[in-house]
Structure 1
Amino acid sequence: MRITNKNNTKPRKEKVYKSESFKDGKFTEEELKQYGLSDEEISTIIEYQTLLPILQSDENDSKVNARDLHKQLNSGRQFTDWIENRIESYQLIKDADYFTISRKYETVKNSGLQPKETLDYSLTLDCAKQLAMVERTSIGALVRRYFIIIEKAFKNRTSWNKNRKNTLINCKELRSALIVKSDELLNGVPEWITNGNLYSIEFSLLNTVILGMSATQYRKEHNISSNDQIRNYFSEDQLDDVERLERYDAQLIISQEIYSYEDRKHILQTEYNRVKNRKTKWV
Structure 2
Amino acid sequence: MTQKKLTALTGSAQTQPKTSLNHIGDQDFANIVPVIATQISGRDNNVVSAKALHSALDIGRDFSTWFADRVEEYGFVRGVDYFTDDDMTAAWLMNDQYSPVSGKNKGRGRPQKDYFPNIATAKELAMVERNEQGRAVRRYFIRCEEELSRSAPEIAAQLRQQLRARITAANLYKPMCAALDAARAEQGKETQGHHYSTESNMIAKMALGGLTAKQWAQIHGVKGEPRDSMNADQLEHLAYLESTNITLIEMGMDYHKRKAELLRLSQRWLAKRVGGAK
Name the TM tier (shorter chain).
Answer: 0.3 to 0.5
Q: State TM-score, norm by structure 1.
A: 0.45
| Max Rg structure | 1
TM-score normalized by the length of structure 2: 0.46
Between Structure 1 and Structure 2, the one with more strand by share is: 1
